[in-house]
Chain A
């Protein structure tokens, strides 16, 4: 079972839900929690522990000047500007490369080969006896978030229960996270912006072909528009977390409401029951 947690809008509580759900489930079974928000991973803040790091590399081109005739085909092909044929050399800009491999295919001289380049790392830890945390970390200035997400997800393969915490938005990193998931939990909040982006995120889950359900976080009790949207789209509202100072206080010191506030461990177990087919 693989559950992806997404939202569209940032700051709605994806990581809160992911961390509390993982903690509650890990009380009774093995859980792998994967931080797929590789540009700003934060789940380790809830689960401080020593990590083992594995580098993530992607292939980037190098030019063999003995074979290169400066024909310019590679530079014309690359839509990311990672190669430029100027005067008497081919310049490469590895940090612009998306590792599509196209330059190696279009070069008529076979002068382009690929070498691995480190763009990030996977940090693995075991903060609880039955919880494995796998955090993808993309190095600053790098563009290939999906490659790090793929590597982090691959690391969790084989675990019977995996929770993926997606990045905000609905772009490539979120789609990469959702692919191969069995269920998508969409975390929203009681604001027009929350609903606007919930709509977008629900469309993405539908497009990827994954059943979805909704968690309303920081609910001020005025969720009629969100509930109506969910009803219209056939999305079950699986949990509502109130807008509460008590919850915020636990959260803000890096605590877990499932561990520290009565009743919430059970609520997160119930949330999982709502997700399981």
Chain B
């Protein structure tokens, strides 16, 4: 399973970014192998419509779980259609901390409906 964590920089040590579509980096972690890949978000300075486009980036990388602070309406619609579940991480910490909290079942799901 591939989990995407929105982050302020590359790598699993980077702090979690609470914005989704304009997060500076998407950190993808494969929970089976433990390998991670950081993708710079090309949309941080885009004019608009970043939500659906960011979801497309996640879909291209095969993510099925997203950990972020909050998502907007357009992003929620795309995430739901893409079958990507979303969990809220608003307490700070690193991407690795967020993943550990998710694995431990400590993160609350964000409703997309």
Residues of chain A touching chain B, judged by Cβ–Cβ distance below 8 Å, are 72, 75-76, 78-87, 89, 91, 93, 96, 143
The segment out of B12-20, B45-53, B85-93, B103-111 that lies at the interface is B45-53
Cβ distance B100 to chain A, nearest Cβ, rounded Å: 27
CA distance A81 to B51 in the complex (A): 7
Contact of B48 with A80 in the complex, beta carbons under 8 Å: yes
24 of the cross-chain contacts (CB-CB < 8 Å) are A72-B60, A75-B52, A75-B53, A79-B47, A80-B49, A81-B49, A81-B50, A81-B53, A82-B49, A82-B52, A84-B52, A84-B53, A84-B59, A84-B81, A85-B56, A86-B81, A86-B82, A87-B82, A91-B52, A91-B77, A91-B81, A96-B48, A96-B49, A96-B52
Task: Tell which of B52, B74, B81 touches A89, judged by Cβ atoms closer than 8 Å.
Answer: B81
A-B contact count (CB 8 A): 60
- CB within 8 Å for A84 and B47 given contacts A89-B81, A93-B74, A96-B74: no
Task: Tell which of A72, A81, A87, A143 touches B52, judged by Cβ atoms closer than 8 Å.
Answer: A81
- Measured between beta carbons, the chain A residues less than 8 angstroms from B52 are 75, 81-84, 91, 93, 96
> Which bucket holds chain B's interface residue count?
20 to 34
CA distance A173 to B47 in the complex (A): 16
**When A and B form their complex, which 7 residue pairs have the shortest distance between CB atoms, in order from nearest?**
A81-B49, A86-B82, A84-B52, A81-B52, A80-B49, A96-B49, A81-B53
- Measured between beta carbons, the chain B residues less than 8 angstroms from A76 are 56
- Measured between beta carbons, the chain B residues less than 8 angstroms from A86 are 55-56, 59, 78-79, 81-82, 84
CA distance A82 to B56 in the complex (A): 12
Q: A87-B82, A89-B81 are in contact. List 4 more A-B contacts (CB 8 A).
A: A81-B74, A84-B53, A84-B78, A87-B81
CA distance A123 to B109 in the complex (A): 47
- Measured between beta carbons, the chain A residues less than 8 angstroms from B79 are 86
Residue of A nearest to B51 (CB): A81
Residue of A nearest to B48 (CB): A80
